């Protein structure tokens, strides 16, 4: 069972669904291509929002995308869910609500990192497929090496980057970052720790009564810097990356940067057009 995380939960759903509709409208003009929707952290299907004693059920991204029939549906759906219970719940809902699509719908209990490699292998063998991927990782569980395998392939990928609740929290102000957290940052960003620390911290020397002292301070805009860094890293794999959509909590603090990467210029424009109204 998935629970409502915050306003950003609804925002990301609407962005992906709006983009998927535009994507399918374009792909409908190219019948020689097969379309595949890939969801790396598909969840249980429905999302439960609890307010006081009331419970509201919100239809999750996977089901919202399955609902799209016009001008066409995706030819194949591939849902990855690491939690076995969530996978079973999603499978049950899909079979009950979308019986006509279950033959082209695959739901697997696996790690997204492994399945992204499988996706790359599939696309290398089946060049007539085009993929819309949605990657909404649990914490910082997505490894950069898993994204690298998609370089040069026909993938439009929306990815939710936990810049505020992930990267920023591991970058301690006192510079006392544990070995485990440094390794997590390295795997998530695909960078050496020295380069990561040099990017997010500045070192200053000053003359004091006790001689020269060197102070290392964390950059004040670390969250925004994390968003810019991830976009830059994506641009090393994909030709075009959308403007990031900043998802904030009720206090206005940035939790995530949501962006789309593609090798298609038109995809970038569509993504930016989808994002802009969401800020109003």
Burial class of 20 by CB neighbour count within 10 A (0 to 12, 13 to 18, 19+): buried
Q: What is the pLDDT of residues 160-211, one digit of tens each?
A: 999 999 999 999 998 889 999 999 999 999 999 999 999 999 987 666 666 6
Specify the pLDDT at position 57. 85
d(CA 120, CA 136) in angstroms, rounded, equals 18
Question: What would the two tokens of residue 261 be?
Answer: 């990467």
Q: Which long-range contacts (CB under 8 A, 24 or more apart) does 31-34 make?
A: 32/128, 33/128, 33/129, 33/130, 34/75, 34/76, 34/126, 34/128, 34/129, 34/130
d(CA 101, CA 88) in angstroms, rounded, equals 17
54: confidence class by pLDDT, cuts 50, 70, 90 = low
Contact 60, 45 (CB under 8 A): yes
**Model confidence at 78: pLDDT above 50:** yes
**Model confidence at 2: pLDDT above 70:** no
Interval 232-256 mean pLDDT? 96
Specify the pLDDT at position 212. 66
d(CA 127, CA 48) in angstroms, rounded, equals 39
Domains in the chain, CATH or no CATH each: 2-174+221-279 (3.40.50.150)
Interval 65-79 mean pLDDT? 97
Q: What is the mean pLDDT of the chain?
A: 92
Q: Which long-range contacts (CB under 8 A, 24 or more apart) does 22-26 make?
A: 22/270, 22/274, 23/132, 23/156, 23/267, 23/270, 24/68, 24/71, 24/72, 24/73, 24/74, 25/71, 26/266, 26/270
**Model confidence at 116: pLDDT above 80:** yes
Radius of gyration of the chain (CA): 20
Specify the pLDDT at position 47. 85
Specify the pLDDT at position 280. 52
Q: Which long-range contacts (CB under 8 A, 24 or more apart) does 262-266 make?
A: 262/155, 262/156, 262/157, 262/238, 263/152, 263/153, 263/154, 263/155, 263/238, 263/239, 264/156, 264/239, 264/240, 265/239, 265/240, 266/26
Specify the higher pLDDT residue, 47 or 128: 128
Orientation angle between helical segments 222-235 and 193-200, nearest 10 degrees: 130
**Model confidence at 5: pLDDT above 60:** no
What DSSP state is assigned to residue 270? H
**Model confidence at 237: pLDDT above 50:** yes
Q: What is the pLDDT of residues 80-94, one digit of tens each?
A: 999 999 999 999 999
d(CA 260, CA 46) in angstroms, rounded, equals 24
4: confidence class by pLDDT, cuts 50, 70, 90 = very low
Question: How many beta carbons lie within 10 A of that of residue 102, not counting itself?
Answer: 16
Specify the pLDDT at position 279. 63
Specify the pLDDT at position 3. 45
Secondary element (H or E) of residue 204: strand 201-208
Q: What is the pLDDT of residues 136-166, one digit of tens each?
A: 998 999 999 999 999 999 999 999 999 999 9
Specify the higher pLDDT residue, 100 or 50: 100
d(CA 19, CA 17) in angstroms, rounded, equals 5
The beta strands (E) that lie in 54-114 are given as: 54-59, 76-80, 105-108
Q: What is the pLDDT of residues 15-42, one digit of tens each?
A: 999 999 999 999 999 999 999 999 999 9
240: confidence class by pLDDT, cuts 50, 70, 90 = very high
52: confidence class by pLDDT, cuts 50, 70, 90 = low
Interval 211-215 mean pLDDT? 69
Contact 257, 226 (CB under 8 A): yes
**Model confidence at 6: pLDDT above 70:** no
What DSSP state is assigned to residue 277? G
């Amino acid at each position: 069972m998935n629970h409502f995380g915050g306003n950003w939960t609804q925002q990301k759903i609407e962005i992906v669904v709006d983009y998927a509709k535009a994507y399918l409208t374009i792909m409908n003009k190219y019948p020689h291509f097969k379309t595949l929707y890939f969801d790396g952290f598909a969840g249980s299907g429905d999302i439960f929002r609890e307010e006081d004693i009331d419970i509201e059920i919100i239809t999750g991204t996977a089901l919202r995308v399955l609902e799209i029939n016009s001008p066409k549906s995706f030819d194949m759906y591939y849902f990855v869910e690491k939690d076995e219970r969530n996978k079973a719940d999603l499978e049950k809902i899909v079979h009950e609500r979308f019986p006509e699509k279950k033959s082209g719908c695959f739901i697997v209990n696996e790690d997204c990192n492994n399945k992204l490699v499988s996706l790359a292998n599939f696309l290398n063998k089946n060049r007539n497929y085009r993929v819309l991927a949605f990657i909404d990782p649990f914490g910082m569980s997505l490894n950069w090496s898993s994204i690298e395998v998609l370089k040069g392939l026909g993938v439009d990928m929306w990815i939710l980057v936990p810049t505020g609740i992930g990267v920023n929290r591991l970058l301690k102000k006192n510079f006392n970052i544990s070995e485990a957290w440094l390794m997590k940052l390295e795997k998530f960003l695909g960078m050496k720790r020295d380069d990561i620390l040099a990017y997010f911290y500045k070192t200053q020397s000053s003359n004091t009564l006790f001689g020269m002292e060197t102070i290392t301070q964390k950059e004040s805009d670390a969250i925004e810097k994390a968003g810019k860094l991830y976009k830059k890293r994506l641009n090393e794999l994909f030709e075009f990356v959308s403007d990031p959509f900043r998802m904030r909590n009720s206090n206005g603090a940035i939790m995530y940067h949501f962006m789309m990467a593609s090798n298609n210029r038109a995809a970038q424009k569509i993504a930016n057009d989808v994002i802009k109204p969401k800020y109003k």
